[in-house]
C-alpha cells in the first residue's frame, strides 16, 4: 500500500537553528499538507500546497516557516530559526484531489528544540 514517508523521524536542534523536515508524498497525489501536533494536544493545520504554491496557511505558519517542492518527489518544511515552542510532531500528508477527505499521513517527524 502506498505511504507517505518522512525524514528524519526525530531531530534535536538548538534554539535559533534552521531545520528542514522532508516528506515524500504518494506519487499520484497532487495536494500536500503539513500539520503539527504538540505533545498531548490536537493536530493543527499549518499549510496546504498545490501546483507548486501555497493554497492555504494558518496563523502558525509565519515568516519563519516555508515549504518547497524542490523536485518531483520531495516536499519540505523549513523552519528558519527554531524556537522552543516549535517542539512538536510534524506530520506531512497528501491527497489525490482538493475535495478528498482521505488525507494520507506520514508517521511524523518529532522535532525537539533545546
Nearest of 65, 62, 67, 83 to residue 22 by alpha carbon: 67
Phi, psi of 84 (to 5 degrees): -55, -40
Pick from 19, 95, 111, 113 the residue near other proteins by CB under 8 A: 95
Pick from 8, 16, 56, 68 the residue near other proteins by CB under 8 A: 56
Least distance between other proteins and beta carbon 8 (Å) = 14
Least distance between other proteins and beta carbon 54 (Å) = 10
In a 13 Å sphere around the CA of 21, the CA atoms on its Cβ side amount to 33
Q: Quick check: 108 binds other proteins (CB under 8 A)?
A: yes
Span near other proteins by CB under 8 A; candidates 14-22, 28-36, 62-70, 76-84? 28-36
Q: What Å distances lie between residue 78 and 1, 28, 42, 84, CA to CA?
A: 28, 24, 21, 15
d(CA 31, CA 14): 31
Q: Quick check: 25 binds other proteins (CB under 8 A)?
A: no
Could you list the residues that contact other proteins (CB under 8 A)?
Answer: 4, 31, 33, 35, 41-45, 48, 55-56, 58, 91, 93, 95, 98-108
Amino acid at each position: 500500500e502506498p505511504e507517505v514517508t518522512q525524514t528524519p523521524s526525530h531531530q534535536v536542534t538548538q534554539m535559533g537553528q534552521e531545520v528542514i523536515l522532508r516528506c515524500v508524498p504518494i506519487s499520484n497525489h497532487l495536494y500536500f499538507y503539513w500539520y503539527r501536533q504538540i505533545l498531548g494536544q490536537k493536530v493543527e493545520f499549518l499549510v496546504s500546497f498545490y501546483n507548486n504554491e501555497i493554497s492555504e496557511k494558518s496563523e502558525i505558519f509565519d515568516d519563519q516557516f516555508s515549504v518547497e517542492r524542490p523536485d518531483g518527489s520531495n516536499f519540505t518544511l523549513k523552519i528558519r530559526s527554531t524556537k522552543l515552542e516549535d517542539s512538536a510532531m510534524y506530520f506531512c500528508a497528501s491527497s489525490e484531489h482538493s475535495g478528498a477527505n482521505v488525507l494520507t499521513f506520514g508517521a511524523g517527524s518529532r522535532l525537539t528544540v533545546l
